[in-house]
A and B are shown apart, each in its own frame.
Chain A
């Protein structure tokens, strides 16, 4: 969905040419121009300083630093989602440590050309969404406008704030064999990559701090400050302090990381379509229990997805009524809706003439030579020169992979020519370029790769300013010119060298204007509150289950038989109840599992296909964390990264099915407990899928219970670290309260259910079970300090239920919940009485405070504890009710939109 990446592509031989100077053994490919060496194989002056610095450091040191940097990238969670990638939602961002260097002269040429191109596209947009003189005057064929789905008729004639359509524009640039730049494509609706460019810069300036300083690299911050200023000036209301949001399609989008990153960097709220609503012709953000007006939307959603009412009806990623709000002039959308039209590939063929017509200027920066086959002469030219052409669709809406003329056989070329003649208007021919090369680090060597530079412009006054830098992408090998993150290519930082002073502005540090002191942050979208709440619940659910499993495994490793651990069957049954992994130790087959519980336990830990298992809980937790990426600090995110051993898609093979133990422990079989790298994980899961039919036993796993214990220990510590960071470093905003309520509610439920499945009926002897409960509830130390050796039910119940000083006790959870509920944003004038959730908390809290541990511990003649049973049931019933009441009060506008049936009566038939 959303962005189609069309890069210039080609294939060529890879013979090397020998440079006259040796710089770390780098030798560019023959036939292409190179960024480092000029045509005479001399190093370009602007690379010299950098290469000297790199030589001084040496490639081994660069490699060492690079390993660290990769770690940083992974820990920061920089990702690029690729649909259908087995690694699913997050694939680590590919970055190369050698930046692309642009000389001040080149940068000036580029900037002048791109600023003009920005103005040209702006003028073209104004014309096509206005008088369409380009058509009547014959500068653009109507066949490229009328059937073009990117032309949004409902956005025609809109009066745009400041009369600006493009606020952030990007162009893909290549350098051809003659050394000149040319534009390969324009990105005009919601260009991606500016955030990755920034992230690349943050990483590179840490890896190569000396080179970065010595090369006098121009900073990026000023560019983003200009973007902020521009977005502020287009606000139709509240121009002094407009509310600006960044609209994302959501975490499934391939560049979601970037959306979250940019939102945080620019200080905008990250929203999804469902977070916004149109009322009274204005756009509002749905925050907890309220609606806040939105003035500017920086969108990362494609044009036609933005409004299901007036644009594409089959998607609800957008905001119903947005087009109407735009027509009413109450909201500015950047870039303006409909701007995707300007990305139409066939427009490239008409740029020089359009530039003369619209701007009265000659085009400074050429496009890649392009011919639209809808014109007979152009079509014949393309067909006559097919070998030198890349054939592409003329409109972005036509789905087609680029075809390289020189890869085709004679028959295939004839077929292609016939295809073009049948529907000539659907094709463009593009001259196949040989893109320039630049060094990348491969292993310990520098190797040439072809590159495409994407750079960005932001509107400023009545023109544009260019980013001094950009996102450089390189091909996956020197043999291919396919430059695409989707196809495994990499990226680079882009250093524009300065011949003057370097601006030191940083958006992260103090700015020029004193900030207004605020303690708000009341812009929490309801959806985010909901996700934080569930994140809290899953974290606690994972922790509770891990502690229980650990308690069980400890007993299994320390003893040799069931006779020494009479509490074990009760605990095993509790594992099934708490994880909801039935039948397990409770239902059918329980009598088989109970004497040899290892397989079932391993399955509850690792089998991610089993809903409720630890692995599946951690997966859910991770996905939720992804949706609130912009609300979680980098440290918290890194902590969650430590859970990856459980997230690896492990296929669980029970030991009972193993052929024999020696084969199972052979070294090529990965250990479940081992920290598998992402790559290995992929290989493993792919391999196991491929092997599935051959043998179920091949991927047996040499596991020891102590490995598992180590793993569970680490998980407990990781989750505790996350909780600690949440307590220590999150402001007590509504967002924190929802996260905390999720945790407390889940912990309460967990404790209730643990006590219900262990203590409501007496199991003799009860001592070992009580010991286990104290351990699982992390309260053994407190207990021992208070009561020394003697373990009694009443004392344990008091500590776990009613002791308000014990952070693991039930009453502590209810007290914290009551406090959170009390402090949620509430319209007190409208509701003088206590809200339903307040009343619910009060009654549970009172009941717990009044409970007598001695009475609760009393058993009747059948060995049951009726008072304990009843209390736990009442408390348990209140928790889902609280959850519902919170949803009702704070999250109720999280309904989804639907279309009405369209009214057409159909009885007309006159005979």
Chain B
């Protein structure tokens, strides 16, 4: 599937900003299932500094700075990405989760270490006994890893309500767990904590999801959104994605931007400003399959 993606982030300030410095993770990765054919970033006002580097996790990281006074900042990313459909994995065929855990602890191969680094707590993903207990209902003794992961994914989807009003970016996962509501980011952090606290490497994926219009209604431009889901490491197979928000294995409707330990590593746009007083932010995302054009 070929997608044309437009992702606009706009800030407006009630007072002039004299300097803003930003980091953006807005370049889609190229993976086995996805190829980024074109990508561009346009920023208004024109930034004085715009430079890219590869971050620790292999994502493309863009630094930009606007050094002239401004009251509005718009960051527009355009991508053309081709996604190959992925075949769902039969979870029962994977190694038992304990074996995966023990192999990662013991191995010093570069591949295993690359995965093992995602088995530890991070800023947004602390460990807690209540989450271990919650996870244990899926991770019973000897159960194949991915079967347990799919079961956990389904349970999170069933137990938690999707509610954009319930949380913000800074809501800790123990609160999400208590109130049983949140958004994709919360569910992903929560599931990652469950997995890592059992010794299973799990990473946070930032990307886009292609949404379908409701029957009989036209597709709304900009109704799509940035999305977050989870990837789990299974030795001999590799990284396997699950989407706890929608209870599914991503196939060809998910487009990957970047991955890291949690949201903090891959935030699409973050920044520090000088001045500005109050500010508001607006984000719009449009994911169009090119054959629709």
Q: Which residues of A contact B (CB under 8 A)?
A: 132, 135-138, 142-143, 146-147, 153-154, 156-157, 277-281, 308-310, 320-321, 324, 327-328, 893, 895-910
Contacts and interface: CB of A to CB of B under 8 A. Distances in A.
Contacts of B212: 910
A875 to B, nearest CB: 32
Contacts of B279: 900-901
Contact of A281 (B51, B55, B270): B51
B225 A907 contact: yes
A901 B281 contact: yes
Contacts of A143: 120
Contacts of A156: 56
B76 interface: no
A908 B119 CA distance: 27
A293 to B, nearest CB: 15
A94 B256 CA distance: 59
B281 A897 contact: no
A136 B270 contact: no
Nearest to A277: B19
A903 B9 contact: yes
Contacts of B121: 147
Given A142-B117, A278-B65, 14 more contacts: A147-B121, A320-B21, A321-B21, A321-B63, A324-B21, A897-B273, A897-B274, A903-B9, A905-B283, A905-B284, A905-B285, A908-B184, A908-B245, A910-B211
A895 B274 contact: yes
B216 to A, nearest CB: 15
27 contacts: A137-B108, A146-B119, A153-B55, A156-B56, A277-B19, A281-B49, A321-B63, A321-B65, A324-B21, A895-B18, A895-B275, A899-B271, A900-B270, A900-B279, A900-B281, A901-B169, A902-B267, A903-B9, A903-B226, A903-B268, A904-B263, A904-B267, A905-B284, A906-B225, A908-B225, A909-B246, A910-B246
B65 A904 contact: no
A568 to B, nearest CB: 50
A410 to B, nearest CB: 28
A378 to B, nearest CB: 16
B169 A902 contact: yes
A136 B109 contact: yes
Interface in B170-213: 183-185, 209, 211-212
B272 interface: yes
Contacts of A157: 56
A902 B269 contact: yes
Contacts, number: 141
B184 A906 contact: yes
B277 to A, nearest CB: 9
A765 B43 CA distance: 75
A135 B63 contact: no
Given A147-B120, A147-B121, A906-B184, A900 B225 contact: no
Interface residues of B, number: 60
Contacts of B218: none
A285 to B, nearest CB: 15
Contacts of B119: 146
Nearest to A138: B108
B245 A909 contact: yes
B217 interface: no
B113 interface: yes
B102 to A, nearest CB: 13
A438 to B, nearest CB: 43
Nearest to B67: A279
B227 A908 contact: yes
A281 B276 CA distance: 22
Contacts of A906: 164, 183-185, 225
A905 B9 CA distance: 9
Q: 9 shortest A-B CB distances, which residue pairs? A: A147-B120, A153-B56, A320-B272, A905-B283, A900-B271, A903-B9, A905-B225, A909-B162, A146-B117
Q: Which of B283, B284, B285 has the most C-beta atoms of chain A within 10 angstroms of its own C-beta?
A: B283
B11 interface: yes
Contacts of B276: 898
Interface in B56-75: 56-57, 63, 65, 67
A898 B272 contact: yes
A153 B262 CA distance: 13
Contact of A899 (B116, B223, B245, B270): B270
B65 A903 contact: no
B53 interface: yes
B20 interface: yes
A905 to B, nearest CB: 4
B49 A280 contact: yes
A904 B279 CA distance: 15
B288 to A, nearest CB: 16
Nearest to B267: A902
A330 to B, nearest CB: 11
A154 B59 CA distance: 12
Given A280-B48, A907-B225, A908-B245, A135 B113 contact: yes
B225 A893 contact: no
